């Protein structure tokens, strides 16, 4: 599906993607993960709702990272997946899963290769250790 341009309209908390055939409203605060799916991108919300959009994952990544005034919590793990780090609950390397949770009732499990999980886990632990060096407590269990 081709489109001549992709106007992006940002409001306080939503992004409107206007293609030739669709207007899709995306709420970045509720996005748990984004997966490439051929020429489409699958947006996975924390409540397990999924939408397919006709925007490539790289373009959507740019839009999410430039979202006005938002603390950037979207992390690209590979060519085909972006996760919202603020929902991170568990990185499980043996089962090759990332578990994302809203902290109460919603949980989303995503299969990711060990090759992508190991560096992400190490970077996350290092980030926590670095924060603890600057006066914050060590939450690594060490």
Residue 90: CA atoms inside 13 Å, Cβ hemisphere, count? 13
| Phi, psi dihedrals of residue 21, rounded to the nearest 5° | -110, -10
Residues 74-85 have a mean pLDDT of 94
Q: What is the pLDDT of residues 29-60, one digit of tens each?
A: 899 999 999 888 999 999 999 998 888 899 88
Under DSSP, the state recorded for 71 is -
Given a cut of 70, is residue 135 above it in pLDDT? no
pTM value is 0.78
Identify whether 58 is part of a domain: yes
Predicted confidence at residue 3, as pLDDT, reads: 38
Q: What is the pLDDT of residue 141?
A: 54
Q: What is the pLDDT of residue 10?
A: 45
Instruction: Determine, yes or no, domain membership for 64.
Output: yes
Regarding predicted confidence, which is higher, 3 or 93? Answer: 93
140 domain-assigned: no
Domain extent, residue 62, equals 8-133
Q: Is 68 inside any structural domain?
A: yes
Domain count, the chain: 1
Q: Is residue 78 part of a domain?
A: yes
CA 110, 44, 11: angle at the middle one, nearest 5? 145
Tell me if 82 is assigned to some domain: yes
- What CATH number should be reported for the domain holding residue 129? 2.40.50.1020
Instruction: Please report whether residue 49 resides in a domain.
Output: yes
């Amino acid at each position: 599906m081709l489109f001549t341009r992709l106007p992006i309209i940002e409001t306080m908390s939503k992004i409107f993607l206007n293609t030739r055939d669709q207007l899709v409203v995306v709420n970045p605060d509720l996005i748990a993960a984004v997966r490439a799916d051929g020429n489409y991108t699958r947006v996975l919300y924390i409540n397990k709702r999924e939408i397919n959009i006709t925007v490539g994952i790289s373009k959507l990544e740019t839009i999410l990272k430039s979202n006005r005034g938002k603390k950037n919590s979207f992390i690209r793990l590979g060519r085909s997946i972006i996760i919202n780090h603020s929902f991170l609950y568990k990185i499980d390397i043996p089962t090759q899963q990332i578990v994302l949770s809203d902290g109460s009732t919603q949980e989303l499990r995503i299969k990711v290769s060990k090759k992508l999980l190991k560096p992400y886990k190490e970077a996350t632990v290092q980030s926590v250790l670095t924060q603890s060096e600057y006066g914050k407590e060590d939450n690594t269990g060490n």
